[in-house]
Amino acid sequence: MKLTGKTAVITGGGSGIGLGIALAFAAEGCRTLIAGRNPQRLLEAAAACSHTPGLLTYPVDVSDRESVRQLFDHARRELGRIDILVNSAGTNIKTRTMSSMSPEQWDQVMAINATGAYNCMIEVLPEMRSRGDGLIVNISSIAGKRAISLGGIAYCASKFAMTALGTAVGNEVAPDGVRVTNVYPGEVNTPILVNRPEPVSDERKAAMVQPEDIGGLVVAIAALPPRTHVPEIIIKPLVQQYV
């Protein structure tokens, strides 16, 4: 198995892209801890995993630095070192224009999508830099490269911030042997679709990228030799234009 002997922490791991990556990691022998805001959802995700090793769980609010600190203290006790961090926690809102969005909604999206990634990265980077090895994967979005109305004002801004964070930190820590990869998904069939302003049809969902597709991609990145670095990669449905 490609990731035997490796360990990983995945935020937003109870559903969607995070869970898709977690299941792909577990299938390749990686000892994986999934974290998220909903403890019951985490337990259900772990129970549904048929792989060995199974999935460990721990609740976290990535926008709360103390909660994040407790997560990684627990992860070190359970896993030892942390080889891979996947920042997949994310949110969006239905009110996606400047005129309809409240300041509090802006704060919420930025705190989870952008500051949440920072809070997790700052926890693992010292140990990764010290031992000269580690991988951080940020699940950004095409909306983090193109300011599209589909994503909305706050989401695009937060994902642009995540993109810049990953790129700048990746350049800083590369001499220390640490790799940072930004993944930019297009439309993905995940529970976040309930926050779309308009309902999404089953037909459209079926044509989207599925969480397991991104799981396979991230496994491929994680399995590369440490001398290689994928700074960023786009994955989108064939039917979605990239403009």
* Burial classification of residue 180, based on how many CB atoms lie within 10 Å of its CB (0-12 exposed, 13-18 middle, 19 or more buried): buried
84-120, pLDDT tens digit by residue?
999 999 999 999 999 999 999 999 999 999 999 999 9
Q: What residues contact 121, with CB distance under 8 A and at least 6 apart?
A: 85, 87, 136, 165, 169
203-231, pLDDT tens digit by residue?
999 999 999 999 999 999 999 999 999 99
DSSP 209: B
Q: Which residues are catalytic?
A: 155
Please say if the pLDDT value at position 243 is more than 90.
no
Does the predicted TM-score (pTM) go above 0.95?
yes
3-state SS string for 166-189:
HHHHHHHHHHHCEEEEEEEECCEC
141-193, pLDDT tens digit by residue?
999 999 999 999 999 999 999 999 999 999 999 999 999 999 999 999 999 99
CATH classification (class only), 7-235: alpha beta
Domain boundaries, the chain: 7-235
